[in-house]
Amino acid sequence: MARQGRFDALERSIDRLDTRLAGTETRLDGRIGGMETRLDGRIDGMQSRVDRVRSRLEGRFDGVETRVDGMGTRIDGRIDRLEAKLEGRFDAIQSSMDALRSDLTQVALAIGVRPRAQND
């Protein structure tokens, strides 16, 4: 009987321990759930901030890209105008040289000198 009493006492101790462990497990589950919720909230907040920063940076990059494209267009226009000016000046020089050659040929013919063959 004494053994039975010890055995019954041991069973009651084990039952109390199981009850306490179940309560502890429930409290830990609640705490862990709360921590997971807070962590999820923080992660969502950080992701939102990252998305806003990314969006602002993309907007700024798009603005810079637009300005660079505009500069390229303006530079191309300036180069085209400079090429046209140079071409006009070279045409004017060529015309002046042709006129001078013609005048010199006329003078040479007038004084009786035979003109050299042109190397164009």
* Whole-number Å distance between alpha carbons of 26 and 24: 5
80 in any annotated domain: yes
118 in any annotated domain: no
* Whole-number Å distance between alpha carbons of 29 and 39: 15
115 in any annotated domain: no
Q: pLDDT tens, 38-56?
A: 999 999 999 999 999 999 9
17 in any annotated domain: yes
116 in any annotated domain: no
Number of domains in the chain: 1
The DSSP letter of residue 111 is H
**What pTM was computed for the model?**
0.47
Q: Which is more confidently placed, 114 or 13? A: 13
pLDDT of 32 strictly over 60: yes
Nearby residues of 109 by Cβ (< 8 Å), 6 or more positions away: 115
The DSSP letter of residue 112 is T
Residue 92 gets the label, from left (phi > 0), alpha (psi -120 to 50) or beta, of alpha
9 in any annotated domain: yes
Cα 66 to chain centroid, rounded:
12
119 in any annotated domain: no
Question: Which pLDDT score is estimated for 118?
Answer: 63
Nearby residues of 101 by Cβ (< 8 Å), 6 or more positions away: 118
Question: Which pLDDT score is estimated for 4?
Answer: 84
Domain span holding position 10: 1-110
